[in-house]
Chains A and B, each alone.
Chain A
Amino acid sequence: MKHVIIGAGAAGISAARTLRKQSAVDEIVMIATDRLAYSRCMLHKYIGGERDEKGISFVEEDFFESNRIRFCSDRTVTKIDTSNHQVCFADGVESYDKLLIATGAESFFPPIPGLKGAKNVFGLRDLVDARAIKSQGSKAKHVVVIGAGLVGLDVAYGLLEMGKKPTVVEMADTILSSNLDASAALTYQMKFEEAGCMFKLGCKVEGVLSDASGQVSAITLGDGSQLNCDLLVVASGVRPSIGWLADSGIVCERGVVVDNYLATNIANVYAAGDVTGLSESWPNAVEQGEVAAQNMLGMPNEYTDTFSLKNTIHFFGIPSLSVGRLNGKEGDVEESREDRKRYQKVILRDGIPVGVILQGDISRSGFWQQLIKNKVDVSGRSKDIWKVSFADSYGIEDNGEYKWLFD
């Protein structure tokens, strides 16, 4: 059996690992547009100089050799010929018995007048973006980042490490508005500002101006003001990478459409990770890669854990975690506490935790995801919500592992 995996991110690598673990003899081919299997969650560390290209790899140095995987690096797949079981490049083909599409997502560039075609404008998704930001950033005088989500702040952080003083423009009134509430977000905003970053919040980008050579020169904002800009990074979210699948016959909506077994509408073609649009979370992508690989091997397995409202953030030595809802709705109960070093908030609905934000101290907090995901009623437990833990659901399997005992 010959397995071909397109993409060497979280899902692709995890699928390859699973395939090799389950089958010593099957042929495995991985195709990637870059020459490395790197973690895009570490790209800002590369920009900031904390790590080199090798340092942002998330696999063992001999991963491809030791797992007997043929790694086709620097290769771009142009289309899939499903009737002939082939993936096509500009200059050749690769045949497959089972195919996994794990091409992830790509930066989304909003339809801002003047943005398209302007030079010195980048997203931050791939290593090639990070290389460009790093090299252009060293020369740039006025760096602007559009978007104050996690990626936008990653970019800003990397640029600050380079000694730059970027300006971050964001439509929402707070930074990290998809990850934190206003109070927790403000903590980071102040740290970024102390380090030299400027924010324009509640601000829409109206246009991008370029000079005679096509280089970005300024951006105009909703309030009529203008910001000088010679390097623009757009961090306005991502979209599944599916444009190249247009004529393949593989059904796509927001992403590649898959069933519970992560199979596409075409036989022997599977998809996993961000390209499915099911989530944008690393652990979910790894899990999907594993499940898809098992199905490719004829070991039926369903992907069930789709919960993805979870994230951690760590800037300036302050860790944060958020799971579920960030702000209470009408009828919710919010409990919070804070001191000099931490801020913690839990949102409950009818005694069931539906959201948690922890900042400053996230010690031994992993159980919150289980309580929220499994909708565990904690009202019968300790009156002090901060004393809730795994202890009240404590179970042990025959093999000594823990298990959650739900009421």
Chain B
Amino acid sequence: MRRIIIDADKCKGCKNCSMACIKAHKSSDATLAFADPQFESRNTILLNGEKKYKPLFCRHCDKPACATACMSGAMIKDPKTGHVIYDRDKCATCFMCVMSCPFGVLKPDRMTNTYVVKCDFCAEHGSEPSCVKLCPTKAITAKEVK
């Protein structure tokens, strides 16, 4: 499967990845703005106690805890691509996936709490993650992994 490989030491915290994610998933033509709550990025960059950047991206885990926790069949690991895909129509919004992601990647949508904001590996963009394309330092790269 393909996974976004992270080299945290190369991250400068520019958040181009987050902007790219918002742009790739936004449905309206409104002007992009981080402050506008309707725009939400699936990824983010954490800061640790030593003020080091730690990019937080869905790993599409080999054993996804979010899918294990899902009681509606909305969150499943696609056996073909290996990606953990989310079906908003099936989702019953119990948010057990949010609680179960061991790294705290997932979240309900900020405006309505009616769906889960989840990386889809830019399936609608040829499964070439938009965040990777826009990272200026190559801190994130999409690679084939076992």
Contacts and interface: CB of A to CB of B under 8 A. Distances in A.
Interface of A: 10, 14, 39, 41-42, 45, 57-60, 282-283, 286-287, 310-312, 314, 317-319, 321, 323, 362-370, 380-382, 389-392, 394, 396, 399-402, 404
Top 7 A-B residue pairs of the complex, sorted by shortest distance between their CB atoms: A366-B101, A363-B107, A391-B46, A367-B104, A391-B48, A58-B73, A283-B69
Interface of B: 3-6, 8, 44, 46-49, 52, 54, 56, 59, 61-62, 65, 68-73, 92-96, 98-108, 110, 112-114, 143, 145-146
A41 B70 CA distance: 10
B61 A312 contact: no
A42 B70 CA distance: 12
Contacts of B4: 400
Contacts of B59: 400-402
A45 B61 contact: no
B49 A58 contact: no
Contacts of A283: 65, 68-69, 96, 100
A404 B54 CA distance: 13
A391 B96 contact: no
B73 A389 contact: no
Given A286-B68, A381-B49, A363 B146 contact: no
Given A282-B69, A283-B68, A391-B46, A321 B95 contact: yes
B7 to A, nearest CB: 9
B71 A391 contact: no
8 contacts: A39-B71, A42-B71, A58-B70, A323-B99, A364-B98, A366-B100, A382-B49, A399-B146
B104 A39 contact: no
A369 B113 contact: no
B99 A41 contact: no
B72 A42 contact: yes
Nearest to A40: B71
Contacts of B48: 389, 391-392, 394
B85 to A, nearest CB: 13
Nearest to B69: A283
B50 to A, nearest CB: 9
Contacts of A400: 3-6, 59, 143, 145
Contact of B99 (A318, A365, A382, A392): A365
A321 B38 CA distance: 23
Given A364-B104, A366-B105, A400-B5, A319 B95 contact: yes
A226 B99 CA distance: 41
B99 A366 contact: yes
Contacts of B98: 312, 319, 321, 362-366
A344 to B, nearest CB: 14
A247 B65 CA distance: 38
Contact of B54 (A287, A370, A391): A391
A363 B69 contact: no
B62 A401 contact: yes
Contact of A364 (B44, B96, B112): B44
B3 A399 contact: yes
A402 B104 CA distance: 11
Contacts of A369: 99-100, 102
Contacts of B56: 364, 390-391
B107 A60 contact: no
A286 B77 CA distance: 14
Contacts of B102: 366-367, 369-370, 390, 402, 404
B35 to A, nearest CB: 16
B6 A392 contact: no
Contacts of B46: 389-391, 394
Most A C-beta atoms less than 10 A away, residue of B4, B8, B92, B114 = B92
B105 A364 contact: yes
Contact of B6 (A57, A59, A396): A396
Contact of A402 (B52, B72, B103, B146): B103
A82 B70 CA distance: 34
Contacts of B101: 366
Contacts of B6: 396, 400
A277 to B, nearest CB: 20
A366 B62 contact: no
A390 B92 CA distance: 27
Most B C-beta atoms less than 10 A away, residue of A45, A286, A368, A381 = A286
A319 B110 CA distance: 11
Nearest to A369: B99
Given A282-B96, A319-B98, 12 more contacts: A58-B71, A286-B69, A312-B99, A362-B108, A363-B110, A382-B49, A389-B46, A390-B46, A390-B54, A391-B54, A399-B62, A401-B3
